[in-house]
């Protein structure tokens, strides 16, 4: 639905006030579509950022566990250091 007051520049401010009070007073469909497109694009960008961050964390966990296993195999890891690393085994990287 369109606002019946949406006719000139001076009425736009009135429409903005009415929009806060009355939900049936909406801006033009073009502006709504543009807002939807912008928000959709931002959502996709944020989704990609989250996905890449999770992949990066997974790679990091793999590298760390490989390093710990190498140190353990070469007996370069002391018992004290191994106990300290085991304490952080289940924690999530953030």
Q: What is the pLDDT of residues 26-84, one digit of tens each?
A: 678 888 889 899 999 999 999 999 999 999 988 988 888 888 888 888 888 888 887 88
Q: Are 72 and 82 in contact (CB under 8 A)?
A: yes
Is the pTM here over 0.75, yes or no? Answer: no
Structural domain of residue 70, as residue ranges? 28-87
Q: Is residue 15 part of a domain?
A: no
Q: What is the C-alpha separation between 26 and 2, in angstroms, rounded?
A: 6
Number of domains within the chain: 1
Torsions phi, psi for 74 (to 5 deg):
-85, 0
What single DSSP character describes residue 40? H
Assigned domain for 51 exists: yes
User: Of 69 and 90, which is predicted with more confidence?
Assistant: 69
pLDDT value for 1: 39
DSSP summary character for residue 22: -
């Amino acid at each position: 639905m369109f606002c019946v007051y949406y006719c000139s520049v001076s009425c736009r401010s009135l429409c903005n006030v009415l929009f806060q009070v009355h939900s049936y007073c909406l801006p033009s469909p073009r502006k709504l579509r543009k807002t939807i497109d912008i928000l959709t694009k931002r959502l996709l960008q944020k989704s990609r950022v989250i996905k890449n961050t999770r992949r990066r964390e997974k790679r990091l966990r793999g590298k760390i566990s490989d390093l710990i296993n190498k140190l353990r195999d070469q007996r370069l890891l002391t018992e004290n250091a191994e106990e300290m690393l085991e304490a952080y085994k289940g924690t999530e990287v953030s």
